[in-house]
Structure 1
Amino acid sequence: MRIQGEGESGGAEPWEVAAPLVRAAQDGDALAMDELLTLVTPYVTRLCRPIAVTDTADAVQESLVAIFKGLRGLRDPQALYGWMRTVTVREAVRMARRTAVEQPAAPEDLVRPAGLRADRDGELSADIRDALARLPVRHRAVLVLRELEGLDERTVADLLGVAPGTVKSRLHRARASFRKAWSR
């Protein structure tokens, strides 16, 4: 089964392109599983890179393994990308925590980070990646999900398994820490 890859979808939404592969992979089609993992790897990498800065490759691999193992339990193939985001963020945060050196956030500079956007290919500039790498994992994760992925605070809270108030306070500190790291 050949499904159009990223950038070749002809206007179809990514979850629509992936849905037939999900169904086939759930039915045991190894080629469909391979094609599905190939299709989603750029998305998984884009999520892992700013969270697990020094361990991106490991985080991507662990995420893909978790997706491979958990795919049979996915009830709705159209929900693939939301489910994958949850799995990937969990794995990226777990990987980043293994090697993280936590530094306390300075709450003084409260300006919202400007320019925290990816280019057309979803890549962050080296300067932004460097500033993100200096943040504690819990701040990096909330900042990436809120500012880059554009998720609301409730969704971020659900993904990270914390209260919405915790997301707000972490986001506040993350923005301040990012601003401080950016100015260095």
Structure 2
Amino acid sequence: MDDDVRPWDAAAPLVRAAQSGDALAMDDLLKLVTPYVTRLCAPIAPDDTADAVQESLLAVFRGLRGLRDPQAFYGWVRAVTVREAVRVARRSASETPADPEEIVRLRDLLPGIGGELSVEVRDLLARLPLRHRTVLVLRELEGMDERATAELIGVPEGTVKSRLSRARSSFRKAWTR
């Protein structure tokens, strides 16, 4: 793919073709977004990543016909994936809350190769309560602002800010141990 082509531009023709019933285009589209969906699901549902990815891709498959703007595909996939990953993580109910303190920014902890989280970071994220882990991933890894995060997960902006503060504090305390 050309370096100047944005992901949503590359996906748009596949979205249109899949919406019109092209099974091969749907298959290509799901293959295209699987790494993105996995990257979102892994820190939100660390104990059930495979299930969260599968549920997210199934929701994308089922809901694609309702997407009006093919250019909005990645934003729509993000919303669907976060919703499904949170739902799957809640099912597992293996949360252990951590105590608050300062945090380091997660982007600084990403190794330069491939954008994968280190094992240590994934482990620390897995120990955070789901509500904290979700806002931390959306803010620090996805770069979403508090307003967009609040809209995506359906809570007031102030709730996102307080959860983010607690999540950062918990992460920092666990990281410095």
Common topology (TM > 0.5): yes
Alpha carbons of 1:16 and 1:38: their partners in 2 closer, same or farther (altered >3 Å)?
same
Q: Does 1:170 align with 2:163?
A: yes
Tell me whether 1:128 sits opposite 2:121 in the alignment: yes
Alignment-derived partner of residue 54 in structure 2: 61
Q: How do residues 14-53 of structure 1 correspond to structure 2 at under 5 angstroms?
A: 14-53=7-46
Q: Given the alignment, which residue of 81, 88, 92 partners 2:85? A: 92
Partners of 1:148 and 1:116 lie apart in 2 by 10
2:152 maps to 1:152: no
Structure-2 separation of matches of 1:111 and 1:57: 28
1:110 aligns with 2:99: no
CA drift of 1:12 comes to 0.1
How far did 1:183 drift? 2.6
2: CA distance, partners of 1:182 / 1:66: 35
Q: Verify the 8 A CA contact 1:116 1:148 in the aligned structure 2.
A: no
Q: Given that residues 47 and 89 in structure 1 are in contact (C-alpha distance below 8 angstroms), is that contact kept between their aligned partners in structure 2?
A: yes
Looking at structure 2, the residues matched to 170 and 157 of structure 1 have their Cα atoms a distance apart, in angstroms, of 11
Cα distance in 2 between the residues matched to 1:172 and 1:30: 44
Normalising by the residue count of structure 1, what TM-score does the alignment of the two structures yield? 0.90
Is the CA contact (8 Å cut-off) linking 1:134 and 1:181 kept in structure 2? no
Aligned residue identity for 2:66:
G
Superposed, 1:76-87 pairs within 5 Å as: 76-87=69-80
CA distance in 2, matches of 1:60, 1:9: 27
Aligned residues: 176
Q: Give the whole-Å Cα distance in 2 for the aligned partners of 1:116 and 1:161.
A: 28
TM-score (norm 2): 0.94
In structure 2, distance between residues paired with 1:105 and 1:160:
21
- Map of 1:5 onto structure 2: none
Distance, in Å, in 2 between the alignment partners of 1:157 and 1:53 is: 22
Identify the match of residue 136 of structure 2 among 133, 143, 149: 143
Give SS of 2:4's match: coil
3-state DSSP of counterpart to 2:170: helix
Structure 2's unaligned 5+ residue stretches are none
Relative to structure 1, is the Cα distance of residues 119 and 92 closer, same or farther in structure 2, using a 3 angstrom cutoff?
farther
Percent identity at matched positions? 70
Provide the rounded CA distance (Å) in 1 between the counterparts of 2:176 and 2:87: 28
- SS of the residue aligned with 1:165? helix
Cα distance in 2 for partners of 1:34, 1:174 equals: 37
Cα distance in structure 1, aligned partners of 2:91 and 2:158: 25
